[in-house]
Amino acid sequence: MEAFVVRGGRRLRGSVRINGAKNSSLILMAAALLTDEPVTLRGVPRLRDTNNMTALLETLGRGFAVQDNAEQAMTARTDDPSRCTAHYDIVRTMRASICVLGPLLAKRGEARVSMPGGCNIGDRPVDLHLHGLRALGARIDLEEGYIVARTDRLRGTRVFLGGPFGSTVLGTANVMSAATLAAGTTVIESAACEPEIEDLAALLTSMGARITGAGSPRITVEGVDELTGADHQVMPDRIEAGTFMLAAAITNGEVTIENCPVDALTATLDRLSAVGVEVESDPAASPQDRMRQTVRVASHRRLEPVQVVTQPHPGFPTDLQAQLMALLCLADGNSIITEKIFPDRFLHVAELSRMGADLTRNGPSVLVSGVKKLIGAPVMASDLRASAGLVLAGLAAQGTTLINRVYHLDRGYESMEVTLRGLGADIERVSVPT
């Protein structure tokens, strides 16, 4: 098994270019099932999750082939439109497999998708996905662990997609994608407002779909009879950008971040500013597009404690909660982090405590009492973002941190250790016995 060895204490300096967004790429790739014409996606990051999605789509007769390595461009082509089963073996490796459900159903009239189980960050039900697709007229049964959905043609409708924890990102992607080929108009209320949903709507629109309101809680989709091929550039990864901002901050470093989607990071920038981290856009380098700015992140002074609540977009993202917690461990006072999306997403708390952090969990909240220093220790990565939080803690800690099970990190960060080394970090990937 692979692990990272991090020798902490180096200030990060230099520049990093943000890749295409993992969570956008996954729903865009699934949406390519909605047509049999070629769909090209540019800027798809090379990650375990995108590899798994490629493998899944191949089993569905809609393989993606590399078009241009430098541009990370891939094109989907159909070689067998009769395949409708997303098998357990692949779905269990990646919950995002559920987002083939809506596109398969709408295009091929049938979808059999293995029911995803829980995962390290919580139960993660899919009831809202099924509720939305049933509202569009799908007949859905659970058969031997598989969601089996069928339709002759979906029908447009008005559907409310809010749940106990707010909107659902992949649920909105599923229902919006399926509605593009429904007969009539669909209105999704309490839709997820995440920028990845806007990116998906942009791809679908260039495929001929008629969508308004993406990025707001009410999305309207006028169904069309068929969609065409398209060529689309994936948005930059806001979570990767936020993670490198926090890496700069925790090491008192100074890092320039290119291709940075500042427009999608307002809550993160607000909290960073409250902590005392400087983030400045360079208007000369990127005058127009607020999704592709060049920013300079610097932290030279003491860190102020803050209160943070994770919320659906545009609130503070749950996918940066662990990384922010690592930073606040070193703040000058008491911070409170409340997790409103996945209330049990705190597996990193015990590991950070092993590094000397002073953390008290109370239900969905953690009191983070700032300490003067973190101390390197062997720790166990338990999910993707928790692992990123531990890497950040290791970068700032005194001594050596061994982060086990980095395969979690490889799901969402492209060669993270190489990027960090480029910024001056002392980090290497090693093999350790299981």
Among the listed residues 72, 168, 293, 387, the single contact to ligand EPU using CB under 6 A: 168
Q: Are 79 and 61 in contact (CB under 8 A)?
A: yes
Q: Are 84 and 112 in contact (CB under 8 A)?
A: yes
Window 93-112: residues binding ligand EPU (CB under 6 A): 96
Catalytic option among 84, 99, 119, 193:
119
Among the listed residues 341, 374, 395, 396, the single contact to ligand EPU using CB under 6 A: 341
Supply 74's token pair: 């891939």
Q: Return all residues near 1 (Cβ < 8 A) that are at least 6 apart.
A: 404, 405, 407, 431, 432, 433, 434
119 belongs to the catalytic site: yes
- Residue 191 vs 250, nearer CB to ligand EPU: 191
Among 64, 57, 62, which residue's Cα sits nearest to residue 80? 62
Among the listed residues 38, 58, 134, 165, the single contact to ligand EPU using CB under 6 A: 165
Binding mask 289-318 for ligand EPU (x = CB under 6 A): -----------------------------x
Among the listed residues 30, 44, 86, 126, the single contact to ligand EPU using CB under 6 A: 126
Among the listed residues 38, 63, 125, 364, the single contact to ligand EPU using CB under 6 A: 125
Among the listed residues 181, 384, 416, 423, the single contact to ligand EPU using CB under 6 A: 384
**Interface stretch with ligand EPU, choices 127-135, 212-220, 265-273, 361-369 (CB under 6 A):** 127-135
Contact call for residue 171 and ligand EPU (CB under 6 A): yes
* DSSP per-residue codes, 5-34: EEE--PPPEEEEEPPBPHHHHHHHHHHGGG
**Interface stretch with ligand EPU, choices 54-62, 160-168, 249-257, 293-301 (CB under 6 A):** 160-168
3-state DSSP assignment of residue 429: strand
**Interface stretch with ligand EPU, choices 69-77, 162-170, 246-254, 392-400 (CB under 6 A):** 162-170
Q: How far apart are the C-alpha atoms of 155 and 235, rounded to whole Å?
A: 30
Window 69-98: residues binding ligand EPU (CB under 6 A): 96
* DSSP per-residue codes, 390-409: HHHHHHHSBSEEEEE-THHH
Contact call for residue 188 and ligand EPU (CB under 6 A): no
- Residue 23 vs 419, nearer CB to ligand EPU: 23
User: How many Cα atoms occupy the beta-carbon half-sphere of 294 within 13 Å?
Assistant: 12
Contact call for residue 26 and ligand EPU (CB under 6 A): yes
| CB atoms near residue 30 (< 10 Å) | 29
CA angle 236, 125, 154 (to 5 degrees): 80
- Residue 193 vs 380, nearer CB to ligand EPU: 193
Among 96, 58, 103, 54, which residue's Cα sits nearest to residue 74? 54
| CB atoms near residue 138 (< 10 Å) | 24
Cis peptide before 314 (omega within 30 of 0): yes
Among the listed residues 38, 61, 162, 163, the single contact to ligand EPU using CB under 6 A: 163
Query: What's the closest the beta carbon of residue 196 comes to ligand EPU, in angstroms?
Result: 6
Among the listed residues 73, 106, 128, 306, the single contact to ligand EPU using CB under 6 A: 128
- Catalytic (active-site) positions: 119
Residues of the shown chain interacting with ligand EPU in the complex, contacts defined by CB under 6 A: 23, 26, 96, 122-129, 163-165, 168-171, 192, 318-319, 341-342, 384-385, 412
